[in-house]
């Protein structure tokens, strides 16, 4: 694949999917937009290296999702110290005119706080199952665990989220059966 064609195809992919990837990464990080941007940047850099192979196979979106999940898991395992250093003046400011931010809604804060309270693995299962809308099998494959683990983690995480958000469990119509006393 010629470099100019490769760059054009990759740039088109990034323009089409960056906002979606950033929103997904924000959910994985429970609203930590800085870490989410780092995860997406890492994923896109790794995707660029493998772009010719991934582009031919047509699996770019699942591939980059897997990279984001792996990078997030690596980040949660990494010690708190980093090679980054703090400075008194930030080198640049974020573009606040961007429409890619999903943090404007009021309910989002509650949801992010509830997601943040979940352990990373449960958070990943919830995001995969309910945000990416992946099946149990696909989620298990991405996380490298059994389907039963995905099911149990989803149920436990949903229960935690339900109680944190104070949302009653969904129930079907109540049926009252009366016995006649004859």
Give the Cα separation of 169 and 20 in Å (integer). 29
Alpha helices in 29-128 (DSSP H): 33-49, 51-57, 60-77, 106-117, 120-126
Domain ranges for the chain: 1-78, 106-167
Residue 75 has pLDDT above 70, yes or no: yes
CATH topology of domain 106-167: Arc Repressor Mutant, subunit A (1.10.10)
28-37, 101-110, 153-162, 169-178: least confidently modelled range: 169-178
Half-sphere exposure of 95 (CA within 13 A, CB side): 5
User: CB-based burial of residue 50 (10 Å sphere; 0-12 exposed, 13-18 middle, 19+ buried)?
Assistant: middle
Q: Dig out the tokens for 60 from the structure.
A: 């770019």
Q: What is the mean pLDDT of residues 83-94?
A: 65
pLDDT for the residue 1:
54
Rounded to the nearest 10 degrees, the angle between the axes of helix 60-77 and helix 3-28 is 50
pLDDT for the residue 171:
45
pLDDT for the residue 76:
79
């Amino acid at each position: 694949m010629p470099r100019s064609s490769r760059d054009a195809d990759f740039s088109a992919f990034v323009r089409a999917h960056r906002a979606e990837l950033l929103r997904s990464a924000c959910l994985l990080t429970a609203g930590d937009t800085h870490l989410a941007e780092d995860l997406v940047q890492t994923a896109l850099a790794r995707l660029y290296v493998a772009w010719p192979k991934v582009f031919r196979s047509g699996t770019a979106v699942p591939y980059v999702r897997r990279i984001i999940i792996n990078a997030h898991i690596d980040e949660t395992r990494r010690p708190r110290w980093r090679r980054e250093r703090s400075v008194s003046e930030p080198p640049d400011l974020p573009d606040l005119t961007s429409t890619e931010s999903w943090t404007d809604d009021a309910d989002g804060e509650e949801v992010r706080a509830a997601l943040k309270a979940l352990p990373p693995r449960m958070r990943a299962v919830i995001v995969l199952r309910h945000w990416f809308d992946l099946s149990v099998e696909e989620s298990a494959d991405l996380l490298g665990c059994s389907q039963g683990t995905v099911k149990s983690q989803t149920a436990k995480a949903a229960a935690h989220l339900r109680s944190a958000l104070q949302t009653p469990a969904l129930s079907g119509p109540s049926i009252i059966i009366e016995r006649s006393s004859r």
